[in-house]
Chain A
């Protein structure tokens, strides 16, 4: 038995040692290849096969005499794979793509601070990138990821339904709510048509933001307990009672709500701007040619126009456990693919550009008619989830209580006070000052 305990203790010690084995000092020499872990989309927009633009991968390889080895990863469990890879003493990838929702301090900690590189060899016109995104990717004043692909949420709407009820594009959240209620009806074939698609894991947060509230602010301070939030929840509850949102909203995913929308069963929905293509593609959509878009409006009490919206963002960064001799080349890679010209080229290949200047390009506007709406929303766009440790748990708790309040299984006050209790204890455990 003693021996067994000893063995167990020895094994417990092995794990940290494996993690912490010293990184071998490799003399700096030019690498032969660059391993890039990305999502499947990121590769396809660089090589020009999809829409016939330039082949940037080939261009980069020629320019720097290095081979790029794209390793496209499926979205499902991508974070797990990256998390596990970061525990290895010398990781395989030289560049890793990350979505902004992952960017908690604990995650950013594992990536190289790019500021020394930026000082030595600056990336042009950093002001093109959305400020919300840059802030989310910054830890202790140092940028860890450079935005590569981004979308802001727009309100996509079914023009036929709007015309049928003589409605205009809503300019405030309150108008949007009224329009949603008016549009809700039962179709001749028995199908129920809802005014607003409501994705349980997202839309409540987006509406709370449109009213000027939030769950925690960017410093991790708890702010859910506010009059704005109360107004927003009351607004959603009202829509729920009126039947203007699908009653199964808690299990409705983004993909589900698009399925409803293309069947003509949804009047309005909040989705990334680039879904415009799918929604108007006659092989994929029953409402092709009738799906219009507008900015997501704020509450009438807010003077700004449009409202605060969700920003979806992918960035490229260099893991700390990458081979040392590839770091410089990895930085060149990031710089190359996030430059103004190449962001435009990739946008023409079907990427959603991370630089605002691309949205003003005429060639791009021809491809993406929503560019202007996206551009006007982008100053008010920031990630749905602030970069705070423990945030996934906080958001889960908040959404759970908010949906209880919407369905009326708790009063708004009770739900908010329960949410406060849970969330404050999580934030306390993570050591975030309130």
Chain B
């Protein structure tokens, strides 16, 4: 095990976790899962070997803030669009996604909502905010135009926009990224979702706005589960209850945020954490995991991380590891001896 790297670099994360701990809620462990994903495999249609997601499996409970981390190309966005039911028609999904115990195909679309990394691209540029919000509200509630306007204004107030009437007359290009993200969140809330998928909702925003948006999500989470996709480990640790690490389409580690921060078990998780430069001193070189993410077309039998791992065993090259461990932390790795 690469002990030095994890020892030296964990401290700021544990600290970040403890800072965020105050707002954390106890998640009722016994309640049935809100979202449960079992054996989700997504392949490119006609190429069954090209797996964008491979046997992904996890559960989310009401009120939970689940952070999904992973580098670009690891399949985070594919997972989000698959859960939302808007994945490209060129992809084929195998496995089960259940929300509140019912399969995805049967449930009402409004149980889940999604916000995105660049909100300005996801708002129609030639329609004003009021039109887009009202449309969503009307579709949900069958309200009259006037009622829908009032409801839309209420929603904008809920997400911290002070002058909803004025904002509803504006177009997306007249507003900042943070304001557009608030509008996206308001639009998501209009559906009264049980599951909110947030695909890097703060990556394109400045730090102050980022904090406001995160606080807003924090405030909203009591009524729903949040699947928060990010590559900002600090944010993931500070805000989330649990963290899932996605590597090359596979969840390699899932665990309570504090446990993952203190004792990352998977070598990839350790590599991810060591790639974050510490604030306290100037690093001479920035760490980055050696090698690159294998392309979906070039993945072979065995562990996907084997080619970049320092502790590769013979078995790693032939048999893919499965998730195992305690209820608090599971990991998919053959080489777990300390």
State whether these chains interact: no
Query: Which A positions have Cβ atoms within 8 angstroms of B?
Result: none
